[in-house]
Amino acid sequence: MKNKSTIKRILDYIGHYKWGVLLSLCLAAVTVVTTLYAPILIGDGVDLIIEAGNVDFEQLKGVLWKMAAVIAITAVSQWLMNHINNKITYHVVEDIRTKAFGHLENLPLKYIDSHPSGDIISRIIADIDQFSEGLLMGFTQLFTGALTILGTLGFMFYVNAWIALVVVCVTPVSLVVASYIAKKTYVMFKRQSETRGELTGLIDEMLGNQKVVQAFGYEEDAGKRFEEINDRLRGYSLQATFFSSITNPATRFVNGLVYASVGVTGAYAAVNGLLSVGKLSSFLSYANQYTKPFNEISGVVTELQNALASAARVFALIDQEPLKPEDSDAVELKAAQGNVGLEHVYFSYNPDVPLIEDFNLQVKPGQRIAIVGPTGCGKSTVINLLMRFYDVDSGCVKVDGFDIRHMTRKSLRANYGMVLQETWLKSGTIRDNIAYGKQDASEEEIIQAAKEAHVHSFIKRMPKGYDTVISEDGGNLSQGQKQLLCIARVMLCLPPMLILDEATSSIDTRTEIRIQKAFAKMMEGRTSFIVAHRLSTIKEADMILVMRDGHIVEQGNHETLLKKGGFYSQLYNSQFAVT
């Protein structure tokens, strides 16, 4: 049932190019007709060669000219058909890959967080490539193969109906064998695709965290994990290859029976004067042409099983529930005043594990709110809710009095400037990375933002300054330098609200002092949320929220909370205790 559903969806994509498909079918028909007409000409030619010294050269010459024309038409139509099939295939693949990537950008963060990135990459790259190979073979050989079988039967019935019936009786054996093997190969190719995605995920994980792997001596364990998955992939691949490889020999055996049946019955008919020698040679040629598509189609079916298994994984990604659509009357948040409220908010990543319960907070424009607490208390979750990376389970988050669920996500996020502990830079120039959120920024604005982020001096020491190309995720920069560039990116945009999630965690103490001064200037008149483990960085906050197990257990400024002698005081003293 799932296989039929996948085929139907593929046909829907192919349907966008129906005129190309129709033209390809017409060319396939021309190719088949001319290919099948050739044996008749050969048979006529054989009958014109009666014996030594008794050859009708005049008529034979005409037959040879016809054969030359038939061969030329066959070659041109076949080339055009293959060219059209290639175009249709790669257009369909482009459409599916575009759809998959576009859908990926609309998937909720929950899906991305719960699936290995390597497996997602494998679906969009490797699985679609596998699908394209199978689809291309299907277009090229299924059309011509099916038409050749039908056309050959027609010509054979035209030449001699009784011998043609012998062929028809033997044919179902080939179909039964091919059908049985096809079902087996689909299961194995499906497992092969899934395991390939698992292996890609592991390799992606190891490459992205190679320093951690080496630092903790995990190489041997990683190798064992790789060997286990690789061994499973080998097993599934061998089984898939085994079942697919016996298809062709099995159908060839049946085809041999067909050819032998035609030879025996045809020779009997020729001996008894029911068939000329030329007609027999034509019939034997048809028997070859009739059985050849079964070999080709059996090979195509194997590839199609692989393609269908890969396509099913891609469609499974496309079928994932996308982000909840925005309301038709969603508000565009132009320039937020910075009045933020969380009212009776409940949220958990897993329904069975409560996290944030009855969370309430009112933030006035321009206030600096620091969020502190032990790991796993919900600090970053609050940020996810503010940015609407996740929607609340109940309650609401408001900006300037409007529920953010009734705002466009793009306009909401455009009003926040965000610097995370985990830096992200794209492959490109330093200038492009700083101007990531403001593409039309002038050179002077970019340089000024870099100076305020204290990154200008190190950029000038780079080989090409602001035109220096950095590798993917800034691989040729230190962690601190990458974080400074991310800070400069926000300095350039200066939105009305800021989120600083451990924004200076990878910066040395001396630079951090200078950055804190820059932050202080940047935060003037802007509502700011600061998540920090180093409590020395949040002394100047207007309000400090102390979180524990998803609840605000304390709130107030630095001095008030210290005097209170509660949980915040314990956290602070644990960092600055004198031993």
Domains of the chain by start residue, with CATH:
2-12+90-318 (1.20.1560.10), 340-576 (3.40.50.300)
Amino acid at 363: V
> Residue 313: which of 220, 200, 166, 173 has the closest Cα?
200
**Contact indicator for 173, 257 with CB cutoff of 8 Å:** yes
List beta partners, residue 531.
371, 501
- 3-state SS assignment for residue 101: helix
pLDDT of the chain along its 579 residues, tens only? 456 777 788 778 888 888 888 888 888 888 878 877 777 777 666 666 655 556 666 777 777 888 888 888 888 988 888 888 888 888 888 888 888 888 888 888 778 777 777 778 778 887 888 777 777 666 667 767 777 777 777 777 777 777 777 777 776 766 676 666 666 676 777 788 778 878 877 777 776 666 666 666 677 777 888 888 888 888 888 887 777 677 667 767 776 777 777 777 777 777 777 667 667 777 777 777 776 776 666 666 667 777 777 888 888 888 888 878 777 788 888 888 888 888 888 888 888 877 888 888 888 888 888 888 777 777 888 888 888 888 888 989 998 888 888 888 888 888 888 887 777 777 788 888 888 878 788 888 888 888 888 888 888 888 888 888 887 666 667 777 787 888 888 888 878 888 888 766 666 777 677 677 777 777 888 888 888 766 666 777 888 888 887 777 888 888 888 888 888 888 777 766 543
Token pair listed for 318: 């496309």
Rounded Cα distance between 128 and 125, Å, is 6
- 3-state SS assignment for residue 341: strand
> Residue 361: which of 388, 383, 340 has the closest Cα?
340
Rounded Cα distance between 24 and 377, Å, is 62
* Residues 6 or more apart whose Cβ sits within 8 Å of residue 501: 379, 380, 383, 418, 419, 420, 421, 531
Per DSSP, which regions of 276-420 are E strands?
A: 340-347, 356-363, 368-372, 394-399, 402-403, 416-419
**Contact indicator for 568, 377 with CB cutoff of 8 Å:** no
pLDDT at 277: 67
Opening angle at CA 151, ends 147 and 154, nearest 5? 150
Amino acid at 41: L
Rounded Cα distance between 139 and 297, Å, is 11
Is the pTM here over 0.95, yes or no?
no
Rounded Cα distance between 184 and 226, Å, is 27
pLDDT at 384: 86
